[in-house]
Amino acid sequence: MWAGYGFRSELDSHPYIAKWLDIEVLSLRLIDERFYHLDTCFCPLSEGYLLYYPPAFDFYSNRLIEMRVPAYKRIVVEEPDAVNFACNAVNINSAIVMNKVSDSLKQRLADVSFQVIETPLTEFLKAGGAAKCLTLRVTEPVLDYVHANEPVESRTIQLQGHLLDAGIMNKALDLIVENGGSFRVLNFNLGIERQSTSAAEVRVSAPSHGVMEDIMSQLIDLGAVAPPQEACDTNIEVVTQAGVAPDDFYVTTIYPTEVRVNCEWVKVQNQRMDGAIVVGDSPEGATARCKLLRDLQVGDKAIVGVEGIRTSHKIESREKRPAKEFSFMGAGVSSERRVELVVEQIAWELRHIRDQGGKVVVTAGPVVIHTGGAQHLSRLIREGYVQALLGGNAIAVHDIEQALMGTSLGVDMQKGVPVSGGHRHHLKVINAIRRCGSIAQAVEKGVLTKGVMYECVKNNVPFSLAGSIRDDGPLPDTEMDLIKAQTDYARLLQGTDMILMLSSMLHSIGVGNMTPAGVKMVCVDINPAVVTKLSDRGSVESIGVVTDVGLFLSLLIQQLDKLTRPYPVI
């Protein structure tokens, strides 16, 4: 039995139908409100043929139809016929009774030996039905070999926080429906005071286990958890092949995560995006930590499924934030007209972090050098605002090119014009550093006397250069083993309070994936697509600034110069 849900029918009814009639029920979700009942857009015909309108269904339902009905037996109805309820037809053997239909549909049905009998039913269409809605079939055969099947899965979740004013409740319910599920709110306790939080209990239903897992993974990202009595422990499977996780392993996000082990919540260590969670034992009790797939070892106990997992998000206060707080952070992309205001707030936060002994990491691309930002980034390093630098071969090469030869990509940085033979400058620079043995040795020998890399060496600021297939040389400091470079990036990112991402899309995205929620992130790029991609990761502590990175750094230095007083102690 094909059964619809979405507008006037509940998915939770389908298991009851399967049980009562002892029949397999296949659930199809309707997403076009014009087709509110299944028989308005879906008509099984004799000999296994099907007349239907695919846009009325979601992706999962269309895939289910395609898996069950061969392509040569699927007769797709176009929209003009669909809105005239061509699928609301009555089929008796080779005859199909329906409202007036197009000649093309009539011909396609005739090609597979069906005879169309047109009957004017326009008055009945006004009431929302056509031929099928005017009949009641009582001669459906009982198939002895088909028995009850209940693919519909239901789970109960709990949500807590500022569910209404933060939009969490709406997001959760929309997420369930948009991903093919159904819901019923079992309990809702509304916070009655300004700082009170609300709590809700919701039953979630999905047409299959796979759809349920997708829905639950996203609900967990919103902070949903199963009731304690339903999730004493997480599901665990042992890794049997090094570097390969069990099927259905839980994929981590940037948000702080806890898992149930021995009926207690255990905080996951080394939180990062796109990893697996491995649990273990220690003298202090159960442990849990994120591991990349490549780091999994045989015998590791990995969490599978979504039971007994919860994430926590920062709950914003209803109170107005202090005027000098890092208030622009809202996972947004700042337009050009607000650059100066945003830079002022970033400068204030940089000063705050430095004065409190915090850690700022910069990931930068060669555009920083090309746009004249090297002198400003060098000053940030020299004055203690930067505690680590992440980049690729290119930023170091062109920074040293500018320091030694006054050009970047062969362009004179003072006059802005190409220099004769300038296209060879970066290779000469690479050769000079390779002759010294490393960037640090070039500084020690007096070959390199200024620039970003020089300031890193002189001020003991660690840097990591990740290589790529396009690199010339490369510099001896560039790590060409990608796995080692990722590991080194992750090491330098530990304990970071803020990350400045300066015109380096790939390195910035890589750093973003390694960084847990709670770290302030500022992405600066002239291309809005880059900053939007970083903001879309979901962290409320990130912002994108669409502007020239050289201009941004210049404005940042100006704002820092204005902050003559130390950060006030609160």
Active site residues: 37, 133
Q: Are 403 and 450 in contact (CB under 8 A)?
A: yes
DSSP 8-state symbol, 362: E
Q: Which two tokens stand for residue 180?
A: 């093919």
CB contact set of 257 (below 8 Å; sequence gap of 6+): 267, 268, 271, 277, 309, 310, 311, 312
Identify which of 477, 464, 501 has the alpha carbon closest to the alpha carbon of residue 377. Answer: 501
Q: Is 416 helix (H, G, I), strand (E, B) or coil?
A: coil
3-state SS, residue 207: coil
Query: Which candidate, 532, 535, 493, places its Cα nearest to that of 516?
Result: 493
Residue 447: other Cβ atoms inside 10 A = 17
Query: Could you give the CA distance from residue 249 to residue 76 in angstroms, rounded to a whole number?
Result: 38
User: What DSSP assignment string belongs to 25-69?
Assistant: -EEEEB--TT--SGGGTEEE-GGG-EEE-GGGB-HHHHHHHHHHS
Nearest to 461 by CA among 368, 362, 350: 362
Token digits for 45? 């015909």
Distances in Å between the Cα of 71 and the Cα atoms of 63, 67, 74, 103 are 12, 9, 5, 22
Is residue 266 within 8 Å of 527, Cβ to Cβ? no
Taking phi over 0 as left and psi of -120 to 50 as alpha, with beta for the rest, 366 belongs to alpha
